[in-house]
Amino acid sequence: MCLHQTLEDYLAMRRSLGYKLEQRGKHLSDFVRYLERKGSSFITTRDAVAWARLPANATSNTWAARLGMVRVFAKCHRSLQNRPLMVT
């Protein structure tokens, strides 16, 4: 399953539970595009941390929030793929 489809399924599932996810949806779409620009078809810890630390002038709280979003999405992606996360 491609990352775009997993993201759509993830957002639909969370929204069906009552979450609005307006900003998170935009951020996670940006993350998936980031991975595509790198040519990655899976989520690695290195890529998640690198994306979460963007932009460079953001606060550490912003970086932590971005990484938290990716962590939850990555868990969902892993469960849908039924394979372990790649740690590099």
pLDDT in tens, 5-15: 889 999 999 99
What pLDDT does residue 77 have? Answer: 82
Contact 68, 2 (CB under 8 A): no
In a domain, 31, yes or no: yes
In a domain, 32, yes or no: yes
Please tell me the total count of domains within the chain. 1
Contact 78, 85 (CB under 8 A): yes
Q: What share of the chain is helix, strand, coil (3-state, %, to 5)?
A: 70, 0, 30
In a domain, 86, yes or no: no
User: Higher pLDDT residue, 77 or 52?
Assistant: 52
Whether the pLDDT of residue 42 is over 90: the answer is no
What's the first-to-final CA gap in the chain, in angstroms? 21
User: pLDDT tier at 43 (50, 70, 90 boundaries)?
Assistant: very high
Domain that holds residue 21: 3-81
CA distance 57 to 43: 24
In a domain, 88, yes or no: no
Whether the pLDDT of residue 82 is over 70: the answer is no
